[in-house]
Amino acid sequence: MKVLIVDDELLIRNVIKEYLKIENIFYDEAENGYQAIDLVKTNNYDCIIMDIMMPKLDGYSAIKEIKKFSNAKVIVLSARTEEYDKLSGFDLGIDDYVTKPFSPKELIARIKAVCKRNEKAIKITSIGGIKINELSRTVLIDNEEVEFTQTQFDLIALFLKNPKVAFTREMIIDNIWGYSYEADNRTIDAHIKLVRNKLGKYKNCIKTVRGVGYKFEYNE
Amino acid sequence: MKVLIVDDELLIRNVIKEYLKIENIFYDEAENGYQAIDLVKTNNYDCIIMDIMMPKLDGYSAIKEIKKFSNAKVIVLSARTEEYDKLSGFDLGIDDYVTKPFSPKELIARIKAVCKRNEKAIKITSIGGIKINELSRTVLIDNEEVEFTQTQFDLIALFLKNPKVAFTREMIIDNIWGYSYEADNRTIDAHIKLVRNKLGKYKNCIKTVRGVGYKFEYNE
DNA sequence: CAAAAATATGAAAAGTTTATGAAATTATAT
DNA sequence: ATATAATTTCATAAACTTTTCATATTTTTG
């Protein structure tokens, strides 16, 4: 997930950036409409957070231009409520609207909400007799529900969504615990053990790739 | 679309049924108020056609009872015009009124009209023995009304309308308190506790998803 | 085949999360 | 203003998960 922050005030951009970092959302920034357009042309953003009142090219004009070649979602930041009516009059395809001063938490939540609509609603993945539902966070083994803890679920989900990919322990840690987590490599083994046990007869679908890590490969 | 015909006269019921069949409208029938109440408890009718003069429980009393737990539209069938005034005096929530003898065609037209209004606002959701009415903001557990406070109602409504979805506490807060609300995560737990207690024997339909949040899952 | 390296596993320890009752705060009604 | 009810906070105990670690087993290498 990647967003573009467009605002002429450094202070505002910095606040937003702080919160995006916490959420591990990637971002770029622009301080006026022209910069924004250039960036959108060369990057693939899921969402653009656009201030309206800016020197050089204002947000309103920038959105109009951007919408011609990008289908990124747009959240407008605006100081005054009146602007809403003005904007809604034009059919700019604005996806959400936040007034300044805003709660960063709210902005983040709206970014997520707006981007989620973009994602596929289908959250079910299955390979052979193993089926996971990421919405309910449940695992069915031959249509029987088996309880997985949070980490165990994240692990089987990672494998199921990337079959035949050999993951290093490092990669698994980055994916599930996050980049900054320092975990003992033996810890991964322990979790693999637990997941294998829960997979029952599909235990050996999680293959050891000696010297590397693990991979998921389904076999009858 | 499904309607319930309540009239003690078989002949009348049969006439109405003939016309409903032609229109492909599903129906059930009852010959007194008690039967009607039982059927409404276990079925979701869009509309109830209710005769007033009936042995055992009269239509007037039946409507009063039914309105407590159903938001089906009610069309009253009555032999005498005077009754109309009498009924309208009481605020029974009658949606339309047809005098006997009536034209079946007219009745059908009124059923359709009344149900069309209803389509916009289906506000009843039920799973197993738990039923909520978002219009009256009431909760029925095994057809017994249980008092839920505002927050508690919002919570059970969120769950009932999204069964099996694992909600994070964050998602719950965003949904019920709004994006900008800063709540202690423990607060959610406290509300969950209260809702669980009110659900009585259905207490464990609200499942803890450790490390994530909660989800609603009905189980016999 | 023996030694070295890597992984598997069971059990214990450490850590985290949730449930719960009670208290404090806030909102609502009388 | 007071009483009542609802919401939120908080501390603690209980339940559960994750991590560590020692040992066993397997695989690779010379």
Tell me: the pLDDT tens digits for B75-132? 888 776 555 555 554 456 677 777 777 777 778 888 887 777 555 455 677 788 898 8
Residues of chain B contacting residue A110, judged by C-beta atoms under 8 Å apart:
179
Asked if pLDDT for residue A183 goes beyond 60, the answer is: yes
How many angstroms is C1' of D21 away from CA of A43? 48
Burial class (CB in 10 A: 0-12, 13-18, 19+), A67: middle
Total-model pTM: 0.62
The domain A2-118 is placed in CATH, from the list 3.40.50.300, 3.90.226.30, 1.10.357.10, 3.40.50.2300, at 3.40.50.2300
**B35/B46 Cα distance (integer angstroms):** 17
Mean pLDDT of A126-147: 91
Asked if pLDDT for residue A119 goes beyond 60, the answer is: no
Q: What is the pLDDT of residue B7?
A: 92
Whether the CB of B182 is below 8 Å from some CB of chain A: the reply is: yes
Residue recorded with tokens 């009110």:
B198
Q: Decide yes or no: CATH 3.40.50.2300 for domain B2-119.
A: yes
Quick one: which residue's CA is nearest to D19's C1'? A187
Cβ B26 vs Cβ B5: under 8 Å: no
Q: Write the CB contacts of A86 (distance below 8 Å, at least 6 apart in sequence).
A: none
Please, which pLDDT band fits residue B151 given cuts at 50, 70 and 90? very high
Residues of chain A contacting residue B217, judged by C-beta atoms under 8 Å apart:
136
Mean pLDDT of chain A: 85
DSSP 8-state code for residue A208: E
Cβ A55 vs Cβ A78: under 8 Å: no
User: Do A136 and B165 make contact, defined as CB atoms within 8 angstroms?
Assistant: yes
Any idea which fold A124-216 has?
Arc Repressor Mutant, subunit A (1.10.10)
B157 Cβ nearer than 7 Å to chain D strand: no
β-sheet bridge partners, residue B133: B124, B138
Asked if pLDDT for residue A182 goes beyond 90, the answer is: no
Q: Which helix (H) or strand (E) is A69 found in, with range?
A: none
Domain ranges, ordered by start, for chain B = 2-119, 124-216
Q: What is the pLDDT of residue A122?
A: 58
Asked if pLDDT for residue A109 goes beyond 90, the answer is: no
β-sheet bridge partners, residue A145: A140
